Chains A and B, each alone.
Chain A
Amino acid sequence: MGIIDLDGLEVRLANRLILNGLTGELKGQAIGLLGPNGAGKSTLINTLLGFHLPSKGAVRVFGLDSHRDRAEIRSRVGYMPESDSFIGNMSGVRFVRYMAELAGMPPEVALERAHESLFYVGLGEVRYRKVSTYSLGMKQLVKLAQALAHGPRLLILDEPTNGLDPVARTRMIQLIKDIRKEGSIRLLISSHLLRDIDETCDEVLILKNGGIAGLCNIEEERRSNRSFVELETVGATERFSTSIEALGCECASFPGGRIKLVIPDHIEARDIYIIASDQGVQIRRMNQRRDSLEDIFLRAMDNRAERNGNGRLQAQL
């Protein structure tokens, strides 16, 4: 059983089909939720929290039905909404304590955990200031603190880096990584920033027009895709290409000594340098890259997932 089980989930809001037959099992430690605007990411999160009733199918969190057992789910989940959502008239520590008490913590414990979680996210020094006086980055952090205070089993972060400057974003990403590393919390991170998901998640669910465009383990997906290398060479390029192909690489040569090749897993860059040295070919530049999350995302968007390896290679070359 996964953390989140989607079973033909269909959600209609105001007679519009928002989520259309989502089926899948999410079981990663940190699950990324990707998709363009209007893909249904926030609707899916709201459905997980029991805010929306599925019109067909079901979604289960920790095996609990999202609508019938919503109170139980909410007690196990920490939610950091995308938009500003706080009580500005309260101090940071009072706000986090309030949320922790609502989650079911006794008042004294809630106060203790509020202090701790505010220190944890880096707001310890400003915890007695009113939330309305916080900067945007601090407001994001206080939302994270309240989501963490009651010790949830699943942390849902909706666009956690929204509106943050580079320093604040780095800090937020580092916090998410730390939480993931600690291991007791599963994460569901919704974002339209591929880089955020790339840095923090090990599994990704890509939504498009309310349907699943892709669901994969990012690391496995990367491993399954071969390394793609661009070379700029000077010397006997044709012979060099033939030798590399003999190693098992797929290779394409271009004028000016440019060569593009796909290297199988067992071939190292060092092998290419050795051949070049043997044949007196100079390698002036070598760009090596594996499929990034962006490639995975774009492929999912273009429905290119079904294409076979050769087709993909030709498209890349």
Chain B
Amino acid sequence: MAVYKRSYSAYAGTTTSAWTRILVLSRYALAEAWSSKITIGIFIFCMLPVLSSMLGIYLANNPLARELIGLRGNQNFTIGATFFLKILQGQCWLALILASWVAPRLISFDLSDNALPILLSHPISRVGYLLGKFIALFTCLSAVTWFPCLLLFAYQGYTSPTPWFAANLRIASGLLLGSIIWITLLAFLGLALSSWVKWRVVATGIIFAAVFVPAGVGAIVSAVLRTKWGLLLNLPFMMSNLWQRLLGAPESFNASFSIPTVAIAIMLSLCCVVCLGMLNKRIRAREVVRG
């Protein structure tokens, strides 16, 4: 086919492998997500705590700098599990803001313009389509969670005058695992809810609501039934519990409200399964109307 000839000719060149087409979806989804100035604004906002934490690590490991700005003593600048827990918690909640903005952009455009029949008529499966979108969202969220957290950890290991790195590897693994669990859940939740709501702004609100409204319901359940198991609907509580345990930080909640890690894992897995069920129901080239 040549532009000047305006005639058609078949293509006889090489084709890419099947798995790289998933990355095509991811690439276009990422480009779509980052084409918005609001996404860039949220990303910059998400990185502000990282910069301030970096400054904190610098000051904690540099007595001269503390002297210069007039800080005395170093008990406020102890860098340990609690310090990194606060960073992880902050970054993970900021990731929720980013996810609630980005996730609807990845799916809603396809759904509102009914692009699925045309997308899925290409050699890409529904699983491949979802995996492509998941990779895009996971990458975006990684950029504000485990990646900067591990950079801070490495920076602390580098600047610490004492051998710190090897002695605190549990913090690093906790940062990585805690972030991955959270952003995986966020990615599934974001994609699932976005797939059911065509309006992006509404989808953004619903993602927030899905995290916080069940927590209120859980509190009511706990109060009425006088049980701690209502906390299993409280995603912020469960995640805070989990992050504390993963990083080995002291638990800040009353022991009577402690929930077994297994129960948290089951609940989070259940959330993911429900999200996958919602996606399976919605991401189809053709809907079959029953009745």
The interface of chain A, by Cβ under 8 A from chain B, is 13-14, 46, 49, 51-52, 71-72, 74-75, 77, 79, 81, 83-89, 98-99, 101-106, 109, 113, 115-117, 119-120, 124, 131-132, 143, 146, 148, 150-151, 153, 178-179, 182, 184-185
Contacts and interface: CB of A to CB of B under 8 A. Distances in A.
Interface string B133-166: 0000000000000000000000000000000000
A135 to B, nearest CB: 15
B16 A106 contact: yes
Interface of B: 1-3, 6-16, 18, 21, 24-25, 28, 32, 109-110, 112-125, 285-286, 288-291
Contacts of B286: 46, 51-52
B265 to A, nearest CB: 35
Given A102-B123, A103-B123, A184-B10, A116 B1 contact: yes
Contact of B118 (A13, A85, A150): A85
A113 B114 contact: no
A99 B118 contact: yes
A153 B12 CA distance: 11
Contacts of A182: 7-9
Contact of A49 (B10, B11, B12, B121): B121
A85 B115 contact: yes
Nearest to A98: B28
Contacts of B291: 14
16 contacts: A14-B289, A14-B290, A49-B285, A79-B121, A83-B114, A85-B118, A102-B24, A103-B122, A103-B123, A105-B15, A105-B16, A106-B16, A116-B3, A120-B6, A178-B7, A182-B7
Contacts of B8: 117, 120, 148, 178-179, 182, 184-185
Nearest to A83: B114
Given A49-B121, A51-B286, A89 B18 contact: no
Nearest to B289: A14
A105 B15 CA distance: 5
A52 B284 CA distance: 11
A142 to B, nearest CB: 10
B1 A74 contact: no
A88 B108 CA distance: 11
Contact of A119 (B6, B119, B124): B6
Contacts of B122: 74-75, 99, 102-103
A86 B111 CA distance: 10
B7 A120 contact: yes
B1 A117 contact: yes
A117 B8 CA distance: 8
Given A87-B109, A102-B25, A104-B15, A185 B10 contact: yes
A85 B132 CA distance: 20
Contacts of B16: 101, 104-106
Contact of B120 (A51, A105, A185): A51
A63 B39 CA distance: 47
